[in-house]
Structure formats: structure tokens, C-alpha cells
């Protein structure tokens, strides 16, 4: 009953106005509220951690974040942070190989190369010697670390005529752009190309190929060359090929080039030159090279009225000297030159039978200069002197009853040049010349044949004409 009564009281309280409750049942209300609030604890019931916090079911990172393949870490990373670059793609070296083109006469010197970044920042400089034996220049530049694919600029500062990379080339002061790269070989190995190869044309002297009177001179020593932009030639070798007589004068340290009575004088260490008695100045001083005197080719050729043509083929020049009309005219006056007579020595003996003359020449083919001329006697009409070309082969003395001849310069069988007939006391037994009197030999006065015998060597040409 008490429980029923209590329930009714509660119900009545719920439906009564609050003012009535406050007046009549204040004590009961306090008790009832206290008892009813305790088991339900409103603060804990209104907190919704379990209902609103959904870390497991509703967390979005996994459901809404982009797949790994769409993440853009490299696009958002700053240039200084490159942890994703494989180490094999990185390098701190740039290797430059320069293959030197072959040239016959390389001018030794230092080659200087500079390396720049694509932003024109100087990264390094190398200087290395290049000479005649240099085939390749290998230059290693230590640079800030970079990734394959980086571009660089190679500058030729000095020391080469040109530098070429594929179809591009530059002269000193020019720059070539290059790019590094890497790749995987057939075995999957990463290969770095942290450099490049180029070709370089060295500084060199152009070869002068000499032609004289239509003939190429293959054994000119020392060689002709360009000096200070002027074509210079060894005067003795080229002058003699032109048909000139070349003589060095130690008193003035000069060289005389002549044909007949026409002379050109070059003075060592000076451009001062005398041409047929007239003083002038050559375009370059006469100089010593490898112990030989060199003169300007144009000055020598034009002095003797020779034509001169120079053809440039890039790596060499053809220098073509024509026949000198002055030399030609002189040769036509001298049969030994006109006929191209040769000798194995620097001397030649010409016997002109119709003139009863023995002439001794010094020089070489087409360039014989008369040294001495003597009268002679020849073979009698029934024992004539032989004609043709022979060589001096023996020196002796022939003795006869009552006289002798000597010296005797035998040139063919029993034929010889020798003295007139001499008594054993040294006086002349028969000193006649200018007549046909011998058994075929050529007789000269004792002092004349003695000079010849003491001057010409064995194998000298003996040239005898009618």
C-alpha cells in the first residue's frame, strides 16, 4: 500500500502546478529529485564521445588521400633537397677529351680551355701543352655535384686553331655547348657520360711544297717555311735548282746569287738587298734557320724575272717558280748547261775540239759556272781525240825514252788529259798547243794540267765535243 501511495503522490506532483509543489511538498520534492538524478547523471549522458568521434570508421586519410602514384613529392620539393635522385646519376666531374688532328709541322704551345655552367658561371680552367707528338688532350674538371643531363659550355681560350664538336666549331674565344647524359646498358648497369669528346686543330706551319722549272723538289733541307707571314726559302737549295750560282761571302756574312755577271746579294740579319747593283729592301730580313740562310722567295724569283705562283690548299702551299729567262739566255750561251750535262762531282771538264780549249766548270747540272779556261793540243788527224762523255778514273805519269808526260788524268782506255812533253830535267821537250799532234790525248801546259789535277776529284765528268 505504501508503494502505491508513493506512486500516486509522485503522479499528483507531476500534474500539480509547480507553485503548489513548492508550498506543500517542498521536502518531498527535494528528496524525490535527489533520488531520481543520481542514477542517470546528466553530464555523462549528454557527452557524446562515442557517438560523434569516429576515428576508426570515419577517419578520412585512408579513404580520401590520393593514391601513392598520384602523389607529387618531386614537384613540390625545393631544388636543394634531392634525396630521390639515384647516386649513380650524380657526378662532380666533367671529363673533356680533345683529339688532336694530325698536322705535319705543329707549332708547340700551351692550350687553355675553360668550362662554364649553363648560366655562364666559370667552373674551371685547364692549360696543357700540345706539340708534334700530341694525339689527345684529356682534361678533368672538378665541379659542383650535378645530375646527368646537365648542360655545360666549353670555351677555347687559346692554343688551337679551332675546336670542333659534331658539326659546330669555334676559333679561339668561341664557346661550344655540350650536354651530359646517362643510360642503362644491356646488363642493366647505369653508364655515366659525364663529359664529351671533341676534335682540335693545332697551331701549325703550312708546308711549302716547292716547284722549280716544273719539277717538284722533294729533298729540300732545311725545308722552306713561312716566317712572320713571308714565304722564306733556303737560298742555296732553291737558288741552285733555279740555275743560279750560290756563294757565301764570310767577310760580309752575305750570300751572292748569280748567273753570268748578274748578281743578287742578300745580307744576313738585314732586309738590305742589292739586285744587279741596285740597293733595295726585301719584305723580310735574311735569316739563319737550322744553320742555313733563308731569303724571301718572291725577292729571289722576281730578281731573275721568274714567274711565281702560290696556291693555298689549306694545310700546305704550292710555291711554283717558273724558268728564269735570264738563266735560259745564259744557258744557251753555254753548251754544258744548255745540254744538261751532269757530273758526279761539283766539277765538269769540257773539251771543245774546234776551239782547242779545255774549260773547267764548277756547280751542278744546268748551273755550271766557268772557273778556268786553257789552250790545248789534240790528236793528230790519223789518231783523233775521241768525243763523248767520260769520267776521270786515274792519275799517273807516263815515261818515254828522252821525255815524260805528267800528271796524266786518264778517262778512257789510253785516252787522257796530260802535260805537254817534258824533259827529265823539267824543261819542255815539246810544248806546242793549239795543234793536232798527239796519239789522241789532250795536252796542256804543265802548270795548267797541274792545277786541274790538284782541283778536280775522281769521277768528274770529261765532256768532249767536236
Distance from C-alpha of 289 to C-alpha of 211, rounded to nearest angstrom: 21
Closest CA to 213 of 337, 360, 333, 334: 337
Tell me the pLDDT band of 83, cut-offs 50, 70 and 90. Answer: low
Strand partners, 208: 317
Does 318 share its domain with 400? no
Domain that holds residue 144: 91-202
Range in 48-57, 160-169, 393-402, 445-454 with the lowest mean pLDDT: 48-57
Same domain, 117 and 218: no
pLDDT at 84 over 80: no
pLDDT the model gives residue 331: 82
Running DSSP on this structure, what letter comes out for residue 204? B
pLDDT at position 28 over 50 = no
Of 154, 177, 202, the residue that ends a domain is 202
160 closest CA partner among 133, 206, 129: 129
- At residue 138, the pLDDT reads 97
Residues 248 and 132 occupy one common structural domain? no
- Do 352 and 454 lie in one domain? The reply is yes
Average pLDDT value for residue range 8-37? 41
Which comes out higher in pLDDT, residue 260 or 236? 236
* Same domain assignment for residues 220 and 189: no
- Are residues 186 and 236 located together in one domain of the fold? no
Q: In this predicted structure, what is the pLDDT of residue 79?
A: 54
Q: Supply the mean pLDDT for the chain.
A: 86
Residue 348 within any structural domain of the chain: yes
Instruction: Give Cα separations from 149 to 89, 124, 177, 184, 390 (angstroms).
Output: 9, 19, 13, 14, 81
Which pLDDT score, from 0 to 100, does residue 98 have? 98
Q: Which CATH number goes with the domain that contains 440?
A: 2.40.440.10
Residue 288 has pLDDT above 60, yes or no: yes
Report yes or no on 309 lying in a domain. yes
Same domain (yes/no): 146, 213: no
Is 308 among the domain residues? yes
For the cut 70, the answer to whether the pLDDT of residue 211 exceeds it is yes
Number of domains within the chain: 3
Domain assignment of residue 26, yes or no:
no
Distance CA 213, CA 218 (A): 14
Provide the strand spans (E) within 185-323.
190-193, 195-202, 207-212, 215-216, 225-227, 230-234, 245-249, 254-259, 262-267, 272-275, 278-281, 287-289, 292-296, 308-312, 316-321
Residue 264 belongs to domain with CATH number: 3.30.457.10
* 382 and 436 belong to one structural domain: yes
**What are phi and psi for residue 299, nearest 5 degrees?**
-60, -45
d(CA 234, CA 307): 18
Strands (DSSP E) along 268-382, which ranges? 272-275, 278-281, 287-289, 292-296, 308-312, 316-321, 347-352, 357-362, 369-375, 378-379
Tens-digit pLDDT profile for residues 411-446: 999 999 999 999 999 899 999 999 999 999 999 999
Assess whether 168 and 214 both reside in one domain: no
Provide the grid cell at 86. 639515384
- Name the more confident of 27 and 451: 451
99 domain residue, yes or no: yes
In the listed set 202, 235, 265, which residue is the last one of a domain according to the structure?
Answer: 202
Q: 63 lies in a domain?
A: no
Please determine, for residue 44, whether its predicted confidence score (pLDDT) is greater than 90. no
Query: Quick check: is 244 in a domain?
Result: yes
pLDDT in tens, 294-339: 999 999 999 999 999 999 998 899 999 999 999 989 888 888 988 9
Residue at a domain's end among 330, 357, 385: 330
Give yes or no: residues 343 and 441 share one domain: yes
**What are phi and psi for residue 300, nearest 5 degrees?**
-70, -45
- Cell (9 digits) for 464: 768532249
Lowest-confidence pick of 59-63, 122-126, 233-237, 267-271: 59-63
Beta-strand relationship, 195-202 and 90-100:
parallel
Question: In this structure, what CATH number is given to the domain that contains residue 123?
Answer: 2.60.40
Tell me, yes or no, whether 132 and 251 share the same domain: no
Tallying the residues shown for the chain, one arrives at: 466
pTM (2 d.p.): 0.58
Q: Who wins on pLDDT, 2 or 429?
A: 429
Whether residue 396 is contained in a domain is answered as yes
Residues 218 and 190 in one domain: no
Amino acid at each position: 500500500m505504501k508503494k502505491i501511495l508513493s506512486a500516486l503522490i509522485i503522479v499528483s506532483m507531476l500534474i500539480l502546478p509547480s507553485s503548489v509543489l513548492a508550498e506543500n511538498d517542498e521536502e518531498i520534492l527535494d528528496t524525490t529529485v535527489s533520488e531520481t538524478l543520481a542514477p542517470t547523471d546528466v553530464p555523462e549522458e549528454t557527452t557524446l564521445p562515442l557517438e560523434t568521434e569516429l576515428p576508426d570508421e570515419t577517419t578520412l586519410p585512408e579513404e580520401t588521400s590520393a593514391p601513392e602514384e598520384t602523389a607529387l613529392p618531386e614537384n613540390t620539393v625545393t631544388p636543394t633537397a634531392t634525396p630521390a635522385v639515384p647516386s649513380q646519376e650524380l657526378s662532380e666531374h666533367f671529363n673533356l677529351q680533345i683529339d688532336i688532328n694530325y698536322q705535319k709541322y705543329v707549332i708547340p704551345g700551351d692550350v687553355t680551355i675553360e668550362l662554364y655552367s649553363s648560366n655562364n658561371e666559370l667552373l674551371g680552367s685547364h692549360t696543357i701543352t700540345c706539340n708534334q707528338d700530341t694525339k689527345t688532350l684529356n682534361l678533368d674538371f672538378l665541379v659542383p655535384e650535378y645530375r646527368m643531363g646537365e648542360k655545360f659550355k666549353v670555351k677555347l681560350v687559346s692554343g688551337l686553331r679551332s675546336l670542333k664538336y659534331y658539326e659546330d666549331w669555334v676559333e679561339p674565344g668561341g664557346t661550344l655547348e655540350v650536354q651530359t647524359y646517362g643510360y642503362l646498358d644491356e646488363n642493366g648497369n647505369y653508364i655515366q657520360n659525364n663529359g664529351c669528346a671533341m676534335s682540335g686543330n693545332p697551331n701549325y706551319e703550312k708546308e711549302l711544297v716547292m716547284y722549280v722549272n716544273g719539277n717538284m723538289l722533294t729533298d729540300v733541307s732545311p725545308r722552306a717555311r713561312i716566317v712572320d707571314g713571308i714565304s722564306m726559302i733556303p737560298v742555296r737549295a732553291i737558288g741552285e735548282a733555279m740555275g743560279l750560282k750560290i756563294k757565301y761571302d764570310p767577310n760580309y756574312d752575305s750570300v751572292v746569287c748569280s748567273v753570268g755577271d748578274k748578281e743578287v746579294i742578300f745580307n744576313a740579319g738585314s732586309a738590305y738587298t742589292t739586285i744587279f747593283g741596285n740597293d733595295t729592301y726585301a719584305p723580310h730580313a735574311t735569316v739563319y734557320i737550322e744553320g742555313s740562310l733563308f731569303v724571301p722567295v718572291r725577292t729571289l724569283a722576281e730578281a731573275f724575272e721568274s714567274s711565281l705562283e702560290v696556291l693555298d690548299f689549306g694545310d700546305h702551299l704550292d710555291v711554283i717558280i717558273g724558268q728564269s729567262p735570264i738563266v735560259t739566255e745564259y744557258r744557251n750561251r753555254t753548251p754544258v748547261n744548255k745540254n744538261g750535262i751532269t757530273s758526279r762531282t761539283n766539277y765538269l771538264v769540257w773539251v771543245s775540239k774546234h776551239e782547242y780549249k779545255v774549260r773547267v766548270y764548277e756547280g751542278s747540272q744546268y748551273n755550271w759556272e766557268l772557273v778556268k779556261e786553257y789552250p790545248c793540243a789534240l790528236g793528230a788527224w790519223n789518231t783523233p781525240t775521241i768525243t763523248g762523255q767520260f769520267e776521270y778514273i786515274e792519275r799517273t805519269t807516263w815515261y818515254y825514252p828522252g821525255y815524260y808526260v805528267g800528271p796524266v788524268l786518264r778517262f778512257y782506255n789510253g785516252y787522257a788529259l796530260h802535260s805537254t812533253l817534258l824533259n827529265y830535267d823539267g824543261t819542255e821537250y815539246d810544248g806546242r798547243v793549239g795543234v793536232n799532234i798527239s796519239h789522241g790525248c789532250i795536252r796542256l801546259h804543265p802548270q795548267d794540267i797541274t792545277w786541274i789535277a790538284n782541283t778536280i776529284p775522281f769521277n768528274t765528268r770529261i765532256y768532249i765535243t767536236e
